[in-house]
Chains A and B, each alone.
Chain A
Amino acid sequence: MPSLKENIIAQLQKDILPLMGYKPPVHAGAVEVELGPVKEAFPHSQFPLGAIHEFICPAAEDAVASGGFIAGILSSLMKTGGTCLWISSSRTIFPPALKSFGIEPDKIIFIYLQKEKEILWTMEEALKCEGLAAVVGEIQELSFMVSRRLQLAVEQSRVTGFIIRRNPRNCSTTACITRWKISSVPSELNDDMPGVGFPRWNVELLKIRNGKPGSWTIDWVERKFRPVHSFVSLLQERQKKTG
């Protein structure tokens, strides 16, 4: 009997999700974002595409870390040859660095705009365009109304949007599907090797609609996200074997 109940609940949840703006991926399997254990936090265990993701960055370094994390996701989104628009107030990204994330830097179109209003207008126009893989925008403030406009735009076009909020003053509710906070944490190299290790972030999923928020530590290794705990356990295992 309990299994029947569970089945019913699962079915109901499946029915509710599309009503809440969560469309199941149109071409399932075509684009898969490898996020390791973070996946479990998402509904359907799939990184929500065709949605707006918000990244809170209190410090300049956090914005860079968020940029890196987004670049990691973009690399899987752009694998099929898509183009991405990166809208910011000034030139912040150094294109050659994107190559180390597996992105062709010449496939990204950068737009520099001074006014927040213009950035938002451009973002909305871009999110309506189906020919893009993703749109990244760097802004400071995001009101509920604006975020809802953006979210409605992506629900039509199925483009994925990323908003990097530099130094936000208030973090009120938005219509974005997720809210992240990415911060750099000290890297580690095995066997106490000298030098700087692979980029490592503390990924906090503060909010997610219909998912489970959480916090993870993730490395960026060889163009892939790698959760750290498994890395540590792997190391321990190896030590056990050798020791």
Chain B
Amino acid sequence: MSKRFVSIWFRHLTTDWFTLRQPGLRELPFVISAPSHGRMMIVATNALAEQQGVYKGMVLADARALIPSLQVFDEKPGLEENLLRRMAEWCIRFAPIVAVDMPAGLIFDASGCPHLWGGDSYYLTAIAQKFKARGYDVRVGMADTIGTAWAVARFGQQSLLVETKKQFEALLPLPPGALRLEEETVELLNKLGLRQVGQFIRMPRTALRRRFGQAFLLRLDQALGNTEELIDPIEPIEPYQERLPCLEPIVTITGIEIALQRLLEALCLRLQQEEKGLRIACFKCYRVDGKIEKLDIGTIRPSHNIKHLFKLFENKLSTLEPGPGIELFVLEAPKVEDHSPLQETLWNSYGGLDNTGLSELLDRLAGKIGVNRIHRYLPDEHYWPERSVKPASSMDEKTTIAWKLDKPRPFQLLANPERIDVTAPIPDYPPMLFRYKNKLHKIIKADGPERIEQEWWLQQGQHRDYYYVEDEEGHRYWLFRLGHYSDKSFQWFIHGFFV
């Protein structure tokens, strides 16, 4: 069976993408520019700008002179390749083997595909229409060889469909650039007055090789089909998903557990082989009556440990309602991260925060009591006691600043300072007595004051003068006076307990 290839050429790939994101650009001429050798060069134009004489490779200043209202956008590096890759994945609906063909093209190996659409011409129109509906301006060529398909997609005048074994005839009227030659060779051909492939294709091969090199003949042979040409097809990543259909609807928890266990085994095996671990997993149960029961779990670190993941689900299994029965189980892992196997330690030492056992424990706890109950603190650069710690965003977060040790800090800090009644003898002396929770404390020893000013850029208010005091029973407290003694508006508070 003869091979058939389709070549797609996106005439305005990046500009079409910009238009899709900002529909207002549809009516305006705009270009995408990038700096090159100290000037701004145009790397892509939209159809409107092209009609007015702006072309790719022009200096931006020249284009601005032509169209004063020209809109200019900066080039996004890698955008074209990313777009093409996504398009290629999407195009697997048309043919099983799809490759990215830089610049601005895709190539399918469409052998055996077109009849599913009812024939070659229907196939091509279907592809073109689908792309048009998505908002992209494409030309689709088809031929027995990649070279000819490429040539007609870009340079073909009448029909973009080349019948089987007609590539020789199709190439005749095309310009030499259609053969995917190097720029210098094309220039040379033009200089010699060879403006159509037909003018030189019948020349003796030895003469052509002597004049234009072996690469020229290779391209010619590839276009004609005398030499095999390979393409590098993309391999889309399969979604991390496992399915388990059941012959009989499943109602019992044992059945569900078995199903979950099997799905986990299959999924974790694949994760293990690819050295990945899942962060989020979703267990879906499709019921006979059309309802879907769902369970979600999350992990702190990527994991492919079947036992651990099963335990996380097990805590929630009782909330499933099988109803009339479950006929299909699906396990998905929407979020997957790299997880290389750790080297095991020979001796049993206490693990740090990156201990697997600990992260598995925290996963279990988070599943039962909620993530917002688990806290870890890091120091923050503030003197104000309430702001001197901040919650860590993750288990891996490290401190960049050291914990302060210079001043005594209470072991227990009250969330809100509480008012106390105080007898203080002299200004700036620690109090003699204070009453807290209806108990009178006589202060024997005291340290201080330690003045902590308000951070005015965060909050307005008065400063605090802290005292570290000990009462007659040996209990130690942290008290402070808000405001100056001389202001008469000061207040005393208790803010913490020392050990």
Contact = CB atoms under 8 A, between A and B. Distances in A.
Nearest to B368: A121
B345 to A, nearest CB: 12
A155 B146 CA distance: 71
A112 interface: yes
Interface residue tally on B, bucketed by range: 35 or more
Interface residue tally on A, bucketed by range: 35 or more
B499 A67 contact: yes
A82 interface: yes
Contact of A64 (B365, B398, B403, B412): B412
A113 B361 CA distance: 16
Contact of B499 (A105, A111, A220): A220
A152 interface: no
B130 to A, nearest CB: 53
Contact of A186 (B348, B358, B470): B470
Interface string B354-376: 01111011101100110001111
Interface in A154-185: 183-185
A145 interface: no
Contacts of B444: 186
A120 to B, nearest CB: 12
Contacts, number: 169
Q: Is the interface of B mostly helix, strand, loop or mixed?
A: mixed
Interface of B: 347-353, 355-358, 360-362, 364-365, 368-369, 373-379, 385, 388-389, 392, 398-399, 403-405, 408-413, 415, 444-447, 468-470, 472-476, 496-499
A68 B352 contact: no
B399 to A, nearest CB: 6
A37 to B, nearest CB: 20
Contacts of A80: 349-350
A83 B360 CA distance: 14
B377 A131 contact: no
A16 B352 CA distance: 34
Interface stretch (A196-204, A205-213, A226-234): A196-204
A155 to B, nearest CB: 16
26 contacts: A27-B348, A61-B497, A63-B412, A64-B412, A64-B497, A82-B352, A94-B385, A94-B410, A94-B413, A96-B388, A97-B410, A99-B403, A106-B399, A111-B373, A125-B364, A129-B360, A133-B350, A183-B474, A184-B473, A185-B473, A186-B444, A186-B474, A187-B476, A195-B447, A196-B470, A199-B476
A200 B358 contact: no
A110 B404 contact: no
Given A61-B497, A111-B373, A185-B474, A196 B412 contact: no
B411 A71 contact: yes
A122 B365 CA distance: 7
Nearest to B375: A110
B476 to A, nearest CB: 6
A200 B446 CA distance: 15
Contact of A195 (B365, B415, B446, B474): B446
B365 to A, nearest CB: 6
